[in-house]
Each structure stands twice: as structure tokens, then as C-alpha cells.
Amino acid sequence: MGEQTQQNDIAIRMRGVTKIFGPDPQIALALLRSGKSKDDVQAETGHVVGLDNVSLNIARSQIFVVMGLSGSGKSTLIRHVNRLIDPTAGEIEVGGEDVLSMNLEQLRDFRRTKIAMVFQKFGLLPHRSVLANVAYGLEVRGVKKAEREEKAAQWIETVGLQGYENSRPRQLSGGQQQRVGLARALAMDTEIILMDEAFSALDPLIRSGMQDQLLELQQSLHKTILFITHDFDEALKIGNRIAVLKDGAVQQEGKPEDIVLNPSNAHIEDFVRDVNKARAIHVRTIMDTSKIEPSVLTVPEDARCEDVLPYFAEHDWIGVVNADGKQIGQITAKRVIKALARYSPDVPTPAGE
Amino acid sequence: MFPDVIDTRPLRRAVDNGLNWVVRNWGTELEAAASPLLRLLNAIEQLLLATPWWLIIAILVGVAWLATRRWQLPLVVFLSMIFLGVMDLWRDAMVTTALMIAATLTAIVISIPIGVWMSRSTRVRQIVTPVLDLMQTMPSFVYLIPTVMIFGPGRIPALIATIVYASPPLMRLTDLGLRNVDPAVMEASQAFGATPTQKLFGVQIPLALPTILAGVNQTTMMALAMVVIASMIGAGGLGYQVLQGIGRLEVSRGLFAGLGIVALAIIFDRITQAYGKRLQARIGISEAR
């Protein structure tokens, strides 16, 4: 029973997914399985390893971020979920369905009804109005014109583009164009949305606004969103969970704070170093729950480290309270310093490991 | 000189006899098969000749105005048409225009599907491209001989020769236009589960339309370039006047008929180009790329 519920909570399951680009991927796959590195395989056979044995369980109703630099295979990974790219080996299940066993007709039906996608370069149809663009997915699905345009108009309003229904995409700014892309995906009313570097092409301020809008929408929609980015700050801001990808392999997967607090290797530490950790880390993840002394000064559990720093000028520790106002732990200056300190392999990692 | 390696005479004879055999045994069938082309050409020609001259001028000037929304092109079109009328070339110009329109329509019907096919399969493209090269470089007299033998001198071989000469650019540009559609848009369409037909008619063809229209423009120009040669085997029209001018050493006849062909070329070239530009601006391809 418990096992069953857990299975139903997983929206996307990838197991051992490997992708090799080249004329004869099986030979390269055998080499890779024999323990050779990505670079060795490329040097010996000329094949490029896109994904190397990726296994991920992505739970329902959360934003799962895959973070990696360019060439890390993150765009390849997201395209496996709706099979825009076929894997060389591995299993992919979406909503309990085996995506790889689908024939072409089933696959089209799956793309039309179960999954929507937002693209880095927007992928809008330049010859169509904003309204017709947002209605495009429904049109492909075969929804009647009046119905799909009504739905499209609703979503255009939700993303804040009312008044632009009859504009052409090129008449809009980048941020507005991506709102059209987002509305087009949302209009599909699918449980799963794939977002491939959706905000990367936008100016920083616009990007931040789009992130806020996505989080706000997610509070009422509870979609399963697989979000790809190269921006660690973006990953920390919107992700419920984060997987870090390098050379096609998953380096670390966990809650944002786990990754900031316990980067599993030097590559991830490189990302973490430039992050404002004081803003990324919530006090509840580093508080001490072993002893609870009554305290006059308290902060809520979802306060961030930067919020408690001012108190430490006068106090050694302060209490942490939950949403009901009950004290659930306390936090010391020492713990905060430990959490914010730089990772170095020779020093034991802070508590929580 | 190059040594005689083989005796080529049997080969030549085989080719000649083969053609003769086709003419003897299949001549009537081939002629019947080509008769829709002839009917199309005759219908267009009769329509153009039956339409009053002022109406044709009004239509072309109107189309030029719609294509550009300026006064320059309509004026050029108007003056060119008046020139054709004043120089007593109206009838010949209509006959030539009919040949050009019939050849262009047929070329569109044949070339666009082949262009679509080429864009979908690299193999088809590898096979068709050299055939197109051959069609464009082979001197047209070479394939005029067998077509005249099969159909007899007249309008069918003239029309077929014009089609053969005028279709390659349209096939090439259809293929090019479809292949150059922004891959990001194609991927989006695929991710939403579009069928190949939905992709072709909903995304590819609309976005490739300016390029395809450039191909149609090329086809009309190539068709007009063929009119003198086509008139040698019975197409009539302005080309025939040029031919007579040469035959009778009447420079004026050849010159004015030649200028008439130039006038037609300017009219159709500028109008189709203007439509292409309008379409491109409306789609906004340049900004979207």
C-alpha cells in the first residue's frame, strides 16, 4: 500500500537513461559501460555522450530543476521526457506510462494531451497572432475554434497580456513573447510542463519577474514542472528539488539547501561559492532541535539566514517558531557561520550530513 | 584527336530507332495525355483575348497597387501596357502571356510537391538535384527535337519545353524554403504533437511562402525567356515577331517585339516581387530569426 502511493506520487521516472550521439551508439555504449570516461569514448570512437546513466524520480506537483552548464546534457535530458530525442538505453516512465514503448501515433497523442513544453527560443509561430499561438496546442489536439480561443484568451489574461491578442509575436518584447510561450503551454492544461531554459534569453529584471510569476501561478496550479537552467540562483529560487548535471551525469540531487550546505564535490562547490548563501538557506534546515529553551526573540521557521544575522550582534542564539507560533528549535550564530562558510574537502562538513 | 575506342554509330542508331518506335507506337497516347495542357493554354489565351484591353490594364494596375500601395509600380505597369497597345503588339503580348501563365501554373502544380518531397528526404534531393542541373544546362533545342517528333510542331511541345526550362528554380526554392524554416518553431510544433500534415501546412509552408514565391517569380521570368525559342516550333506571340524580324532583316519589328517581351517581364517580375516582400513583412521572418 505504502509502496503503491509512493509510485503514484512520481510523475516522471527515468532509470539508467543513456544517450550517445553518433553513427553506431552501441559500440560507444559498450565502452562507456566498461568504465571509460566521456572524453575517452569521444576520443576512441568519435561518439558524443549526451547522457550517462541518468536516474531521476520527479515527484508530482513540484518544480524540479535540472541545473548544468552548457554541454552538460540538460537540454538533451528534458527532450527525452517527451521523446523529442530517443535514448540509447534506459527506461522512461511518465505518469506511469512507458514512453519508450509508444508507437508514433500513441506518442503524438501523449504529446497532445499529457505534456506541454516551453522553449528557450520561444518557438512561436511568427505568422500567427498571439491568440492563435496560445491556441496552437489545442488546435493540434483538435479542439473546436471557439472553445480553444476562449481558453487561450483566459490564459493570455492570466499571464498579463490582455490587449495583445491580435498582435504578432515579433511586435512583443522578449519577456512578453515568453509569456505567450508559457500561456501556450498552460492552455494545454496538462499535468506536466517542461521548461527548457525558459527564462535564460531574458534580461535579468524581466527574468526575475517571470520567475515570480511562475511561482505565483504554481501556488494555485500545482503542476509538475521540469525546469532546465544554467543559472544556479534561478534553480535555488524556484526549485523544490534540484539535480546538478555535468558531462551528462547527475552529480547531486536534493533540496536546494542540501546542495548549498553539502555540495558533494568541487564542481558543485564552484556554483555554490558565488551564491548568496545567506539568502538561499532557511533557518529551519540548520536550527538545533535537540534542546528548546524558551526565548523572547524568535524568528519564523522559513526565515533565511540573512534575516537572523542582525540579531547576533546582541545575542548568541534566538528561537525559531513554526507557523502556529510554537517554538520548534533554536539557532546559534555558530551554526549560521558554519552554514555560510566555504566548503573545503579537508574540513568536516557541518551538521546534517 | 581522341582515339576511336568504340564505334558509336550503333548507339546513336539505337537511340534514334528507340525514339521512332515511341513515336510510332505511343504517339497518339502521348498526345492525348498532353491534351489537358493544350486545353489549359487555349482557355487562358481565349480568356485574355476576349477580355477588353482596358479591363486587362485596369486589373494589372490594380494588382500592382495592391502589391505596393504606391503610385510608381502602377504607373510603370500602365505605361508598359500602353506601349504594347500603341505598337500594335497587344494580341501577340496576350498570346505570350497565356503561354507564360500556363507554363507557370503547370510548373507550380508539378514543382511544389516535388520540392516538398525533396525537403523531406535527403536521398530524393540527391537524385533530383542533378536532374534539375541537367534540365537547366541542357540546350533547349536538344529536348525540343524529340518533343516535336512526338507531338508535331505546335503549342504542346512549345509549352512542354517552357515548363521543363522554367520549373527547376521553383523546385529548388521550395526545397530551400522548407528546409530553412526556423528549427525552434518546428521543434515546438513537434512537441505539441503535430502530425506531419499539420506541420507542413500549419508551419512549414506558411513560413516558406516568401521563398516559394521567389521561386514563382523565377519561373515566370524563365518562361518569358523561352518565348523566342518556343515560337520557332509554333508558339506564336511576341517571340514569333522577333523571329520574323530576324528572318526578314526587319530590325524595327524585332526590336519592338523584343521591347514588348521586356515590358511583360518588368510587369510580372515587379508585381510578384512586391507580393513576396509584403508577405515577408507580414510574417516577420527577418525579425523572428
Domain residue spans in chain A?
A: 2-114+190-273, 279-340
pLDDT confidence band for A109 (50 / 70 / 90): very high
A-chain residues near B203 (CB < 8 A):
125
Q: Stretch A323-345: mean pLDDT, rounded?
A: 79
pLDDT confidence band for A353 (50 / 70 / 90): very low
CA distance B185 to chain A (A): 4
Q: Does residue A194 have a pLDDT over 70?
A: yes
CA distance A141 to chain B (A): 8
Burial of B279 (0-12, 13-18, 19+ CB in 10 A): middle
The pLDDT assigned to B135 comes to 87
Domains A2-114+190-273 and A279-340 share a fold: no
Tell which of B192, B198, B289 to mutate to test the A interface (max A CBs under 10 Å).
Answer: B192
- Give the chain A residue whose CA is nearest to the CA of B209: A127
- Give the chain B residue whose CA is nearest to the CA of A142: B194
Q: Are strands A63-67 and A241-246 parallel, antiparallel or unpaired?
A: parallel
CATH architecture of A279-340: Alpha-Beta Complex (3.90)
The pLDDT assigned to B1 comes to 81
Per-residue pLDDT tens digits of chain B, which is 289 residues long: 888 888 889 999 999 999 889 888 888 888 888 889 999 999 999 999 999 999 999 999 999 999 888 899 999 999 999 999 999 999 999 999 999 999 999 999 999 999 999 999 999 999 999 999 998 888 888 888 888 888 888 888 889 889 998 999 999 999 999 999 999 999 999 999 999 999 999 999 999 998 999 999 999 999 998 888 888 888 888 989 998 998 999 999 999 999 999 999 999 999 999 988 888 887 765 443 3
Q: Stretch A143-168: mean pLDDT, rounded?
A: 92
Q: How far apart are CA B236 and CA B284, in angstroms?
A: 43
| Contact between residue A183 and residue A152 where contact means Cβ atoms under 8 Å apart | yes
Own/partner long-range contacts of A308-315 (Cβ < 8 Å, ≥24 apart): A308/A283, A308/A336, A309/A278, A309/A336, A312/A336
The pLDDT assigned to A351 comes to 47
Which of A8-12, A35-39, A234-238, A279-283 shows the lowest mean pLDDT across its residues?
A279-283
Residue B111's CB: how many other CB atoms inside 10 A? Answer: 28
Beta-carbon contacts below 8 Å between A and B: 76
Superfamily of domain B27-288: MetI-like (1.10.3720.10)
Mean pLDDT computed over every residue of chain A: 87
Q: How far is CA A314 from the centre of its chain?
A: 39
Class of domain A2-114+190-273: alpha beta
Helix (H) or strand (E) holding A9: helix A2-9
Q: What letters, b where the CB count within 10 A reaches 16 and e where it falls short, cover A278-311?
A: eebbbbbbbbeeeeeeebeebbebebbbeebeeb
Instruction: For chain A, say whether B185 makes contact (Cβ under 8 Å).
Output: yes
Q: Stretch A265-282: mean pLDDT, rounded?
A: 81
Q: What is the pTM of this model?
A: 0.81
Binary contact (B203, A169; C-beta < 8 A): no
Residue ranges of domains in chain B: 27-288
